[in-house]
Amino acid sequence: MFQLRSLVTALALLGSISIANAWEVLPTQAPQPLDNPSTPEKIELGKMLYHDPRLSSTGTVSCASCHNTMLGGEDNRANSMGVQAELGGRSAPTVWNSAFNKVQFWDGRAATLEEQAAGPVTSPVEMGMKNWDEVVARLKSISGYEKAFKDVYGENTISKDNATKAIAAYERTLITPNSPYDKFVGGDKSALSTQQIRGMEKVAELGCTSCHSGSAFNGAGTFQKFPMIADGYLEAKFHFTKDKGVAEVSKKAEDEHFWKVPTLRNVALTAPYFHNGSVATLDEAVKIMAKTQLNKELAKDEVANIVAFLNGLTGEFPKQTMPTLPPTFGKTVN
């Protein structure tokens, strides 16, 4: 009787979710730019470079250090730690499903994965290399990379362009489809619990998907002001406006506190939350978003339902195998 009642309730809730929300299933493949088609060899080279700490000045930090593909695609830290224990000013965004972002970084300063891959390597608080000439020289000093690059690019030499294209090709494989939500939208009406369906309905009712739209729930390259509604208590506690967001790059006052809309995919795995990693739990993040963006106070059960739904956005992670990196024999590159 309980199961039947739950099924009837779930179907009633399903019927109340507006078709206008256009719930979308996550694609299983990412679009590829015409100038960077993927091949198995390029993906493998990109995986090597992504996991090689020798692309950092100290030989201790790789892309994977802050964007861990063994976890939620980031490092679960408020501020990521780079070379010499330097702390960045922002929380690392997830690399999972980043191929579906139309812009990269919290402030959207990179238009492509290729452009994004070039940035952290020469950031003084991230990987700390002086410039890409130094990076290329180091890669050339590691026997094994020359063959790996040649297998991918023919007679082309090791270069910044080829390295970042390979890293981007690997990152385009980091897709997490088939979440309970995807299965539900695809027709399996038992894939989400009654509570998760209530949360899905509430997300639609509140208009959360007006910003977190599309199959990746990331707004497909849109920017949004955060916080929209000033709250002295929340600001004193979390310091949201200390960082000016897009304006840090554009230097325009009208861009202050605008941010790329982050994906909600796998959000249950990527605490702490917001650009500065100041909020420890997903429950708190949901309440803050309702207050600062919608000027709404959510009831305890509404928060719980939304959090349950967000847990339903955790997808299936493709198995990751660690690459064997080209060795250096009898010497170090540092």
The structure tokens 């100290």 sit at 58
Catalytic residue list contains 126: yes
Nearest to 171 by CA among 120, 210, 131, 222: 120
- Cα distances from 234 to residues 170, 248, 261, in angstroms, run 39, 22, 20
> Given 126, 171, 201, 302, which residue is catalytic?
126
Q: Is 259 in a helix, a strand, or coil?
A: strand
Cis peptide before 323 (omega within 30 of 0): no
Greatest Cα pair distance in the chain: 71
* Core vs surface per residue 260-295: b (16+ CB within 10 A) or e: bbbbbbbbbbbbbbbbbbbbeebebbbbbbbbbbee
Kindly give, in sequence order, each residue whose CB lies less than 8 Å from that of residue 90, ignoring residues fewer than 6 positions away.
79, 80, 106, 243, 275, 276, 277
User: Catalytic residue positions?
Assistant: 126
